Amino acid sequence: MIRKIYFSEFLVLFLYVILVNSMVTSATLLLHELGHYTLGLYEGCEKIKFVLLDSEQGTYTEMICPRAESWYFAALGAFIFVIPYSILFIFLKNFPERHLSMIIIGFNFLIASADFSFFPIINPIVFCVGVILIIWKEIIFIDNLLNKFLVRTK
């Protein structure tokens, strides 16, 4: 397949990729924190604070839990909303956007890495797994997108 590629096509597709990624990752971040918040609430943790933008501590959810187990349970909240959210994208079978599903999971690992700070080795491993997942699936997503919109017959 041979044809001319215009700068406008580059611009539109680039903006689309940026927009989709920003929306998906922002939503994942919100759902991730919301998961901590919900399970914390369920476990009877108190003084729960959900902070999205803090110039010093960044994005976080703060709570005081009655038992240590409650805290671990609340930590698992990182996945309770994010996994169903990522599964939704799998249903976009014939669209390149279905690969966003694994990008969401990768991003969730990336932002969850700090939640595992009590395990010193797991923390960087989870972070790296997240970044690798994101890179791998971004390549596939962008390749599919470009092939769909640029490599088409006349």
Partner 1 sequence: MIFQQPFIFFGSVGLVLAISSAIFVWRFNSIKEKIKVSKVLILLSKIINRNRVKTLENMLSKNSNFSFITIQPYIDGINFNVSEMKNISKIILLFDVSKNTIPIEKQIEEFENIKSFWDGKGREVIAIYSSEIDEEKIRKLKEIFGRIFILNENLLEKELLDIQRLINSLSSKEPIKTLS
By CB under 8 A, name the binding residues for partner 1: 1-5, 10, 13-14, 17-18, 21-22, 25-26, 29, 33, 36, 45, 52-55, 57-65, 71, 74-75, 78, 103, 107, 110-111, 113-115, 127, 131, 134-135, 138-139, 142-143, 146-147, 150-151, 154
Q: Are 52 and 62 in contact (CB under 8 A)?
A: no
Least distance to partner 1, CB of residue 93, Å: 22
**31 vs 45, which CB is nearer to partner 1?**
45
Q: How many residues does the chain have?
A: 154
Q: What SS3 class is residue 60? A: strand
**Residue 125 Cβ, how far from partner 1 at the closest point, in Å?**
13
Q: CA of 109: how far to CAs of 16, 69, 127, in Å? A: 24, 21, 6
- Among residues 21 and 83, whose Cβ is nearest to partner 1? 21
Spatial CA neighbour of 117 closest among 60, 64, 47? 60
